[in-house]
Amino acid sequence: MSLSQRDLTFVLYECLQSEQLLSREHFAEHDKSMFDDVLKMAAELAKKEFAPHYRKSDLEEPHVVNGEFQIIPETKQALDKLREAGFFAAAASFADGGMQLPNVIWNACQALFLAANCGTTAYAFLTIGAGNLISSFGTTAQKDMYWKKMLAGEWFGTMCLSEPHAGSSLTDILSKATPRADGQYNIKGSKMWISAGDHNLAENIVHLVLAKLPNAPAGVKGISLFIVPKYRLENGALVANDVNLAGLNHKMGYRGTTNALLALGEQDNCIAELVGEPHQGLAYMFQMMNEARIGVGLGGAALACAGYEYSLSYALERRQGRALSNKDPLTNQIRIIEHTDVKRMLMAQKALSEGALALCLYASRLVDDHQTHEDATSRHEANVLLELLTPIVKAWSTHYGLEANYHAIQILGGYGYTREYPVEQIYRDNRLNPIHEGTNGIQGIDLLGRKIPMQNGLGFQLLSSRIRASTKNARENNLFALAESLDHALDAAQETTMTLMSAQASPELRLANSWHYLEMLGHIVVAWQWLIQASVAQTALQQKLSASEQEFYNGKMQTCKYFFKYELPKVAVWSNLLTSFDTTTLEMQENWF
Amino acid sequence: MSLSQRDLTFVLYECLQSEQLLSREHFAEHDKSMFDDVLKMAAELAKKEFAPHYRKSDLEEPHVVNGEFQIIPETKQALDKLREAGFFAAAASFADGGMQLPNVIWNACQALFLAANCGTTAYAFLTIGAGNLISSFGTTAQKDMYWKKMLAGEWFGTMCLSEPHAGSSLTDILSKATPRADGQYNIKGSKMWISAGDHNLAENIVHLVLAKLPNAPAGVKGISLFIVPKYRLENGALVANDVNLAGLNHKMGYRGTTNALLALGEQDNCIAELVGEPHQGLAYMFQMMNEARIGVGLGGAALACAGYEYSLSYALERRQGRALSNKDPLTNQIRIIEHTDVKRMLMAQKALSEGALALCLYASRLVDDHQTHEDATSRHEANVLLELLTPIVKAWSTHYGLEANYHAIQILGGYGYTREYPVEQIYRDNRLNPIHEGTNGIQGIDLLGRKIPMQNGLGFQLLSSRIRASTKNARENNLFALAESLDHALDAAQETTMTLMSAQASPELRLANSWHYLEMLGHIVVAWQWLIQASVAQTALQQKLSASEQEFYNGKMQTCKYFFKYELPKVAVWSNLLTSFDTTTLEMQENWF
């Protein structure tokens, strides 16, 4: 399971011009060949250490025997190699012992690992996300104690938000933190759906836990963030911190990553450290959640790419049937890629998977601009646009990434439905992504209810002007028809957005179809990414190229056309639905079901 | 796992007026209460014997230990009860010891079993289909020998078409049948993807096998049909017939049903009987395949209903979050059905699942009209319309049934992704249905390439006039706007069809988007089924009704509106794509991928 490295470098350098980052002080010590080396190392590691146990980690799901975790040794070995190669600290600064890589380069590496084996990869990425949170909001002592170990890949990390009765509704968490005389806190509560919540892959697990202090304000305003290690350091020794595995969830897919119900402080012996200020926990956690939402979108895109690549290689070899115009049974069977309907399913996958990947990397590039752009306005704008795009990155990439995987199975037919081929596992694994880190429905509400009105619509304005710049550029590249289509679609989205924002409607009515709003804007954003790619390809095709390069760019041009012809017209359907303020769903009574 | 019996009786009697069948001679000995009793018995059996081991049959997949099948005992017990209740002979005539039930009533029973446990159900339905084939084309001796045992549920049956190198392309099968001196045949070959291909649930398994006689014409014209029992009768004893299990396929879902690679005649000792005339095998087999395609569509619909019912009951109980307009964390959490986005996902499921089920039962009613209508023209027309609708029944119901199941998981959130809740299994099981009995892509080609042009477009004409009759009726019921929408959509479909049929285009270009043609016509056909339901509901609502009946009909009205508002507008997108004769996919070169 892999994704195309040529596609990665195309997006990174030709579309996102990531080598421009080298001119910034923060990345001044790098050069492009160093980026290339890192990508190459990631690709090799993904291929050698992650991909080979993809199926095995599904068949031999982690489980507990007599209190001991049984996890296939390949998982730890892959993570050890990742650690040895320094990837746990890829984005950390030189000062902290990291590689100080741009986010966009690091996320390209992540995509390679996720495509190869998302279940094993998750342990590392959760650790990195949790570490970043401590690095942003923790004290120097906390960084020295926890983050350093996490950067080294010696201790792993998690995020502990949900509880059994409070999955999406964090307002309602019940975990309690009680101050102790020593300045620390006693934690008591249950945490549910904790990915990598327990295992024996690392010396320690650093849980970042949301809990409430005594007399905290009700709701999300009373949530604080705590560091709760599985083992705490006492007199130089690690001792159990009363964080106990209360059960493992048995998932449909993504089985390589444990998912745990944790009991904290059952013996009143779970000691925690507060991170930052009291009651600011959710705001802090959102840093990790936003990072994780990009990561989940990237997972959706990477698995879509993996399914595409696999079904493509299958379609190039498998012989079955003959051309529609050939009725002679004595001729040889043709390779199924020669059947137009199979080609259609490959194009659909290419359009959805590479479109999603480009979008995820675009967002990753915005992270870099937010953090390192020389210009303050540009930094601010990058952040606003990133906030707007985050729910689309998360939800569009996972929803349509899964649709791509549907086609991959369909191309393999009966074989695709068996556990002897990887595409069914890819499909099962990817089915998690529309659920975790905020369901896709919640992303729709976040987009339309919060991100669109934010700062008087600045995010949407920034997005629109960037898209218009791209359509202008496309016209200059003679891509008139494509530019015209995207401009029209954006016109419709602008009208739709205005209508939704200006109307005197209840939040319930305004947001009734927020999921379809996300689909509408998502399709426009991905069409935009394809137009950028087509413009680059068009320019490249003017030059003298090797045959394989010419084929690559032709494929980009053709797939852009596919997306514009098959997918973009759906925008009109969603726009009509949204502007009609349809009340069908709202009026439906629960006893009418 | 179940589906709504109220919905079944609504479709059967109020929409399809199945009690009119009682006036036909073939059903004269029945009355409506007898139909009701059968449905009730099926519902009880489904609930008591099929549903309880649904998960267990997934977790403890059938497997072989030391040459012995290990299948959980509940499977055999359920099938024994089905046999004892006479359901293996439900549609067979009184003369043959059957219940002589209308196809539409029997398929309603099938839907109940499929919703409860599709994996166990498949053994029986394959037996019935195989038995019907022998009954249609076998000799009296073959019927006495095999069919009687199958009607009694003592011997089971299969269909053996595919081979490892010939899945969809039956032209290319290699299995050979050599005439023997005794008038029988020696069979040699491999058969792949054989559902219920081996097990120990019945005394014998009667395989219906496609193979080629010596010097047979090339291609499908040289395929003959054979009865190949697992054990043949010799001197009154059953002896092994050299039909050997070469391997079990390990599937993503539908695990309760074994799926086998069979080796026939490895020891040159596999003896078969020819069914009917030589070289007519594929034509015969199409009877079973067409029946099976309706059955697969019904499976897609039934699983969609099962997921809908389960996620509905969950949404009515699970408390999470608050109304968008309520920011007070001290108020109680609301049941998730109160969230508009959850309601939207329930409406989508109701629209897709009950729409598909109505379509499947409509097609089943056509089978009855074809077989028992008093009027010869009506019989013929029913058959032509059935042929047209079969690919839609199969492919639309399974594609959109699976989409419904996606929503069911989404409503349960993290819980929905675990094996502790049934919706993930329903989703995995249903994923088979777009593949087997002809992939959905092949159904699209069958529809546009064969069924539409058939008899100078008679099928499409019949469909159109029936839809127009329904829109006329809907107008009389004051459902103007809905009737108008469907008429417009049908206009578009008629134009699209004319354009595709009249153009001088290669088959490759004409059929390049046949899958989207199927989606387009499928959406119209399902909208039509919803309009029929809304017209019936509208009439019913004029009368004095109990509260629950009023709610039921209101739900039907509202869901019809949903389908027309959210789904039907997509017809324009597909129609535009199809009439533009888009060449994007055709032009894509394989080395551009």
Which residues of chain B make contact with A193, given a CB cutoff of 8 A?
414
As a whole number of angstroms, the longest Cα–Cα distance in chain B is 87
Give the model's pLDDT for residue A80: 98
B270-287 average pLDDT score: 96
**Six-digit token string for B248:** 């079990």
Q: What is the mean pLDDT of residues B461-477?
A: 97
The answer to whether the Cβ–Cβ distance between A435 and B427 falls below 8 Å is no
Residue A382: predicted pLDDT: 98
- The model's pLDDT over A6-31, given as tens digits with 9 standing for 90+, comes to 999 999 999 999 999 999 999 999 99
Residue labelled with tokens 């099926």: B42
Q: Considering only the beta carbons, identify the residue of A162, A250, A414 that sits closest to B418.
A: A250
Judged by DSSP in three states, A331 sits in coil
Structural domains of chain A, ranges and CATH numbers in brackets: 5-150 (1.10.540.10), 156-281 (2.40.110.20), 284-585 (1.20.140.10)
- pLDDT attached to residue B537: 98
Chain A contacts of B555, Cβ < 8 Å?
588, 592-593
Instruction: Search chain B and give the residue with CA nearest A422.
Output: B252
Q: What's the mean pLDDT in A214-220?
A: 94
Residue B190 or A1, more confident: B190
Give the tokens for residue B348.
């989508």
Could you tell me which residues come within 8 angstroms of residue A409 by beta carbon, excluding any fewer than 6 positions away?
Answer: A307, A416, A417, A423, A424, A427, B431, B435
Residues of B in contact with A61 (CB under 8 A): none
* Mean pLDDT across B303-308: 98
Q: Do B435 and A417 touch (CB under 8 A)?
A: yes
Secondary element (H or E) of residue B158? strand B155-160
Question: Positive or negative CA dihedral for A288, A293, A296, A298?
Answer: negative
Amino acid (one-letter) located at B402 = L
Res A500: pLDDT: 96
> What are residue B251's DSSP bridge partners?
A418
pLDDT in tens, B480-505: 999 999 999 999 999 999 999 988 88
Catalytic residues of B: 437
Question: pLDDT at residue B359 above 90?
Answer: yes
**DSSP single-letter state for residue B210:** E
Nearest CA in chain B to A578: B566
A512-539 pLDDT, tens per residue? 999 999 999 999 999 999 999 999 999 9
Amino acid of residue A451: K
Which residue pairs from A331-340 have beta carbons closer than 8 angstroms and sit at least 24 positions apart in sequence? A333/B169, A333/B172, A336/A411, A337/A312, A337/B590, A337/B593, A338/B590, A340/B508, A340/B511, A340/B512, A340/B585, A340/B586
Q: Is A245 helix (H, G, I), strand (E, B) or coil?
A: strand
* Residue B325 pLDDT class (50, 70, 90 cuts): confident
Q: What is the ipTM of this complex?
A: 0.97
Cβ–Cβ of B167/A449 closer than 8 Å?
Answer: no
Name chain B contacts of A566, Cβ cutoff 8 Å.
Answer: 577, 584
Distance, CA of A486 to CA of A498 (rounded, Å): 18
Q: Greatest CA separation found in chain A?
A: 87
Alpha helix segments (H runs only) across A187-248: none
Cross-chain residue pair B324–A414, CB shorter than 8 Å: no
- How does pLDDT run across A177-211, given as a tens digit for each residue? 999 999 999 999 999 999 999 999 999 999 999 99
Beta-carbon pairs below 8 A across chains A and B: 272
Strands (E), A47-175: 63-65, 68-70, 155-160
pLDDT class for B352, splitting at 50, 70, 90? very high
Closest CA in chain B for residue A408: B435
- pLDDT at residue A578, rounded to an integer: 97
What pLDDT was estimated at residue B504? 85
Tally Cβ neighbours within 10 Å of residue B473.
16
Q: Residue B511 and residue B578: Cα distance in Å, rounded?
A: 9
Mutate to test the interface with A, among B212, B249, B252 (most CBs of A within 10 A): B252
Name the least confident of A562-571, B146-155, B316-325.
Answer: B316-325
Q: Is the Cβ–Cβ distance between A531 and A471 less than 8 Å?
A: yes
Q: Stretch A219-245: mean pLDDT, rounded? A: 97
Helix spans in A432-580 (H): 440-446, 454-476, 480-502, 507-510, 514-540, 547-562, 570-579
pLDDT in tens, A382-422: 999 999 999 999 999 999 999 999 999 999 999 999 999 99
Q: Mean of the pLDDT values across residues A129-147?
A: 97
Catalytically annotated residues of A: 437
Contact A410 B440 (CB under 8 A): yes
